[in-house]
Structure 1
Amino acid sequence: MAVCEICDKRPHFNYQVSFSHRRSKRKWSPNVQRIRIWDSGGVRRASVCTSCLKAGKVQRPPQRTA
């Protein structure tokens, strides 16, 4: 399930309404990316939504050199 580990954003369910006002249930999921983050002195993988990435709420580790 798409859940952000930073802001706890998760899918929500509601009606999708067509032009003729017919309603059908639908699930909207947040845009969650699985990235490497710098957390408490170590690097780990975490599921983070793109709004938290854009807001700078996570610190990315330095790039690995080959």
Structure 2
Amino acid sequence: MSKECAFCGKKPQVGNLVSHSNIKTKRRFNPNLQRVRHQYADGTVCTLSVCTRCIRSGKVIKPVVSKKADA
């Protein structure tokens, strides 16, 4: 699974981890990806890795789960 958002394309960024003595080592800033089910306009449902900002902004349309009534 790649660490990339399916909607906005957000990927890991690199930066420095700075210690108390100001020694710098490389580190990665990973995006906060969640696996969510997304419903497309034609009705198909697919599981995607999406960042939390895209979930919050409404780019992800979650499918409606219908409860079956017990007869």
So what's the TM-score if we normalise by structure 2?
0.82
Describe the SS at the equivalent of 1:53. helix
Gaps of 5+ in 1: none
**What value does the CA root-mean-square deviation take over the aligned residues?**
1.3
1:24 equivalent in structure 2: 25
More strand by share: 1
The count of residues paired between Structure 1 and Structure 2 equals: 66
Note if 1:57 corresponds to 2:59: yes
So what's the TM-score if we normalise by structure 1?
0.88
Equivalent-residue separation in structure 2 for 1:31 and 1:12 (angstroms): 12
After TM superposition, the runs of 4+ consecutive aligned structure 1 residues lying more than 3 A away are none
Structure having the higher Rg: 2
